[in-house]
Structure formats: C-alpha cells, structure tokens
Amino acid sequence: MTNAARVIVVGSGIAGLTVALHAAANGCRVTVVTKDVLEHANTRYAQGGIAGVMFPDDRVEDHIHDTLVAGAGLGDEAAVRVLATEGPERIRELVALGVAFDRDEHGEFRKGLEAAHSYPRILHSGGDATGTEIERALVAAVRATAATVIEHAFLVDLIVEEGRVRGIRILRDARGDHTGTPDELRADAVVLATGGIGELFAHSTNPAVATGDGIAAAIRAGAAVADLEFVQFHPTVLAAGDAFLVSEAVRGEGATLIDEDGHRFVFDDHPDGELAPRDVVARAIARVMRQQDGRPVLLDATAIPATDADARAAWLRERFPTIDAAMRERGLDWVRVPVPVTPAAHYLMGGIVTDLKGRSSLPGLYAVGETARTGVHGANRLASNSLLEGAVFGARAGDAIASDAASGSWATDAHENISPVPAAGVMASPAVPSPTFSRATLQNLMWQDASLVRDDEGLARAASVIAGWRAQARSPQTEREYEDENLLLVAEHVVAAARARTSSAGAHFRRDAELAAVR
C-alpha cells in the first residue's frame, strides 16, 4: 500500500463520502477533510429524496427527458444519460450500506412525486429525512475504512506545482475566529466536494458552511468554472423564525400555494401550477409578494385530502415528521391554517467544470456534487436529482482517480464540457460608491440585484460595488475572514456570468430581456 495513490477529499456530503468509499475500495489512501464534523454536510438537510428509475413501469428515457426539460434545454445530454442510467445502481449501493428507504405495506419502495417529474420516482427515508439517513449510512461506512478524517479544518487554498494540483493548505481547528498558520497536506489527487454558495444571499436554505470555498480555491488556481449564473431558488421556505425549507414533496402530495385572497396563483404562470419547475414557482411567488407589498404567500396543506383535520394531522406527522416538528416549534398549525412561505437561495447548478469522471480542467483536481458543473442540471435542477448526482459522479470520480493514478495519466476533457457563456471576469461597470464591507451587506446586495429577477442595471451596480470591495487590501487570518474573501470572489464571477448571459434561461431570469421581447 506504500505506493497507493494519496487522495484528499474536501467535504463530507454524499458526493465527497462516495468518492472516499470508491477510492478506498480501489486501494487509494484517502484523507477526508471537513470544515465541521464529518456528519455536518448539506446532504443531511435534504428532505425531498433521491430520484431514480427503480420501478418496472418507469423508464430511464423518461427520467432523461424530464431532466433535460427542467434544465431549459441547456443540460449536457451525455451527462444526463449517465445520471439516469447509473442512478439505480448507486441507489442500490446506498441500500446495501444500510439506507432505509421508506416502503409500503408490501415491502416495496414507496413512490413520491415532485415537480416536473412525469413519474413518481422519488424515494424517501423517514418521510422527509432522506438526507439525514443517507449521511448517517455514508459516515458509518467511511469510518469503517482506513480513511483518515480531519474535522474542523478549513480549506485555504490548493497547492499547484508545475501545472497540476499537489495538495491543499488548511487551517486546522478553524472555528470562526480561530487564527493560525495553514498546514500543507500533500496528495496525488484532490477532490473538491465543498457544496454550494448559499451564504452569498440574504435568504438561503443552506447551512452556514456553504461559502463557496472549493469554487473560490479552484478559480484562484486557474480551473475552469461555468454556469455560475444558474442559482436555483427554492420556492417554499418558512417565513417564520429561522429559514426552514418545506419540501416540494408537500406540494407533490396535494398542498397548494395561494395569495392573500385565496387564489392559486401559480396556474397564472404555468399549466402545472404548484408542480411547475422550481424557477417558475419561485418567480410566481416573488411576483405575488411584490403585489402584496412584500408579504409572503401561503402554503395550504389543508388542501391535502383527508377525512378530517385529525386524520390530516396524523398523516402529515407520519409523512413529514421533520417539517411537522418545525411547524409546531414555530407555533404554526399547518393542519388547519395555511402557513407563510417565501423563496430562498437553494442550489447552484454551475461550478467547477468537470468531465464525466469528475476531472476538472486542472490536472490532479476533481470536483463532485454541488461544487461541480457536470452539465446534468442545465439551467435549472430537476427536483431530487442532486443527491443522485452526488452518488453517481462521486462513484465515477472515486473509480477514475484510482485508474488515473495507476496509469500515471491525469488527462481531462473537461474543457469540452463548458457552457456557451462561461463566467469570464468582471465587465466594465459605472463606478458606484462601495459601502463598508460586511457579509450581511454583500448578501443583501446579491439578494437585491442578482437573485430571482435580474437586469443589467442591477447587475452593473452589484459588479461595481463588488469590484470596489475586491480592490481593498485585506489579509484574512480567521476562518470567517477567509470565507468572506471566497464569497466576494465567487460573487464577482456569479455577477459577471449573469451579465454575460443577456437572455433568460431557467433559473437565470433577465427582466430586461423579457421586457424587450414583448415590445
């Protein structure tokens, strides 16, 4: 084993842990580096489930079709075919690891329907605790291997020598205000599985660790990124207390969205109503909220069929135990009264460009999960494809690293998998005085000018303010200060990509383009 490839996996969600398991199974020496404890990854917050063709009357071609349609025609068909074709095997692998997906009285997997799926192919665990159950099983499996786990370690940067990645620099025991000298960890391959960029926006479903660290490190190292303009906003986040996502599966079971007058308004925007693609539903909610002077819309679970309120309460408690508990903690009686919801930043479709085996454009560097731009999501992710992507491409990357190391070749075709309009630096913008920088100020700026509805005036303003902040000399010392630098760098690229794509596509909605089209 002394000559085994040394692999560092940064991140401990479904994608990173799947890489670790497959790389270890192929004889690699694996080190998993995580910003928090191993169990605390975005995966454990996933309520909706995992999509896959697991039933005899479902078809892989239909899953492919649904994914491409939801992606507004910008998904990479080859990547989508890999996702849908290999997905069932990866789901069975999760079952073998001990993931207990919900089953019906006959012992068969219980089917779930979510928006934009033509078939109820969503599997859940614990009703709405799918991510938590998957994370539990994967963490146990990784701890059972010989992998080294380094917790509370912050990724400072990649080590690049002679044109390829040779390791990472980390800040150990990084907990907010901790300072110290970064350590170097050397490796033959580095896998970035650090999640998304939810902390870039004032309203987000993501945990606080989602600060774009891996994407920022890749940008600094010169790896290609793309599709950063495609940020998905989840339509239904509780507008009471701390942000809490209410799964799309609730609408799949019959809950409706209504305005203050009781009107089911999403049908005004799409014939599928509440089960339209997420970007459509989120913008419909934003439209109605503007008409209501910013007040949230209402999610009406009383529309779910039941003989009476008591029966509905029992059913909701069994089907959505986590959501039901969150409602009761906030004093909301969703069994009898519609509850307030708003959109929030949820998922990044773009990221580090990879080929179909997780290789980036920079030799020795791989990316998986939300950190990667595989091409499967196009301009808008289909519900419950995120966990599947992490499992499918995590396995592919783990296997590829072993074969790449064995052959001594780190070739990649990731440069062939770049969307037509990549992020390409900051465009010239009118000078706008930059307020004093703070994370909250950046988040509010991005929410105002670069979220659900965009136009060039707002994007130019955001670009100018961000450029002013980026021009200021700072020397980060703490984890939070490093995170702020990462958020600023990623924000610069998100805004640049959004300005470069002047037409609307999926989650990227240009108000000025839509107005021009109707003139």
Quote the CA–CA distance of 209 and 41 in Å, as a whole number: 8
Asked if residue 369 belongs to a domain, the reply is no
Residue 433 has a pLDDT of 73
Asked if residue 328 belongs to a domain, the reply is yes
SS3 428: coil
- CATH number assigned to the domain comprising residue 460: 1.20.58.100
For residues 406 and 219, the model is more confident at: 219
Asked if residue 57 belongs to a domain, the reply is no
Evaluate whether 170 touches 182 at the Cβ level (below 8 Å): yes
- CATH number assigned to the domain comprising residue 271: 3.90.700.10
* CB burial readout 317-335, b (16+ within 10 A) else e: eebbebbbebbeeeebebb
Segment 415-430, tens digit of pLDDT: 565 544 444 444 555 5
What range defines the domain where residue 507 resides? 439-518
Look at 153-162, 282-291, 495-504 and tell me which has the smallest mean pLDDT. Answer: 282-291
Q: What is the mean predicted confidence (pLDDT) over 10-19?
A: 98
Name residues whose C-beta falls within 8 Å of residue 517's C-beta, 6 or more positions apart in sequence: none
Name residues whose C-beta falls within 8 Å of residue 450's C-beta, 6 or more positions apart in sequence: 458, 459, 462, 491, 494, 495, 498
Asked if residue 309 belongs to a domain, the reply is yes
The DSSP element (H or E) to which 467 belongs, if any, is helix 456-471
Of 321, 345, 369, the domain-final residue = 345
Look at 91-105, 156-170, 282-296 and tell me which has the smallest mean pLDDT. Answer: 282-296
Asked if residue 322 belongs to a domain, the reply is yes
Instruction: Identify which of 56, 22, 52 has the alpha carbon closest to the alpha carbon of residue 121.
Output: 52
- The verdict on whether 278 is a catalytic residue reads yes
Segment 41-68, tens digit of pLDDT: 888 877 779 999 999 999 999 999 999 9
Q: What is the mean predicted confidence (pLDDT) over 364-373?
A: 98
Among the options 44, 81, 251, 278, which is catalytic?
278
Quote the CA–CA distance of 196 and 42 in Å, as a whole number: 9
Asked if residue 481 belongs to a domain, the reply is yes
Please, what is the average pLDDT of the chain? 92
Residue 249 has a pLDDT of 84
Evaluate whether 51 touches 388 at the Cβ level (below 8 Å): yes
Quote the CA–CA distance of 494 and 258 in Å, as a whole number: 32
Name residues whose C-beta falls within 8 Å of residue 275's C-beta, 6 or more positions apart in sequence: 113, 114, 115, 116, 251, 252
Q: What is the mean predicted confidence (pLDDT) over 3-32?
A: 96
Residue 421 has a pLDDT of 44
Residue 423 has a pLDDT of 45
Evaluate whether 214 touches 194 at the Cβ level (below 8 Å): yes
DSSP class of 83: H
Quote the CA–CA distance of 28 and 167 in Å, as a whole number: 15
Which two tokens mark 207? Answer: 């945990």
What total number of domains does the chain contain?
Answer: 2
Evaluate whether 249 touches 48 at the Cβ level (below 8 Å): yes
DSSP 313-345: HHHHHHH-HHHHHHHHHTT--TTTS-EEEEEEE
Name residues whose C-beta falls within 8 Å of residue 375's C-beta, 6 or more positions apart in sequence: 75, 76, 78, 79, 80, 417, 419
Residue 489 has a pLDDT of 98
pTM score, whole prediction: 0.91
Look at 38-52, 233-247, 406-420, 421-435 and tell me which has the smallest mean pLDDT. Answer: 421-435
DSSP 381-417: PPTTHHHHHHHHHHHHHHHHHHHHHHHT-----GGGG
Look at 23-37, 41-55, 201-215, 484-498 and tell me which has the smallest mean pLDDT. Answer: 41-55
Asked if residue 297 belongs to a domain, the reply is yes
Q: What is the mean predicted confidence (pLDDT) over 159-166?
A: 96
Residue 518 has a pLDDT of 67
Asked if residue 466 belongs to a domain, the reply is yes
Of 345, 373, 394, the domain-final residue = 345
Evaluate whether 241 touches 385 at the Cβ level (below 8 Å): no
Type of residue at 224: A
Pairing relationship of beta strands 351-353 and 372-373 according to DSSP bridges: parallel
Quote the CA–CA distance of 340 and 259 in Å, as a whole number: 10
Res. 407: pLDDT tops 90 = no
Residue 414 has a pLDDT of 63
Look at 68-82, 88-102, 242-256, 346-360 and tell me which has the smallest mean pLDDT. Answer: 242-256
Of 277, 311, 345, the domain-final residue = 345
Residue 377 has a pLDDT of 97
DSSP 44-82: GG--S-EE---STT--HHHHHHHHHHHTTT-S-HHHHHH
CA distances from 370 to 25, 104, 184 (A): 23, 31, 25
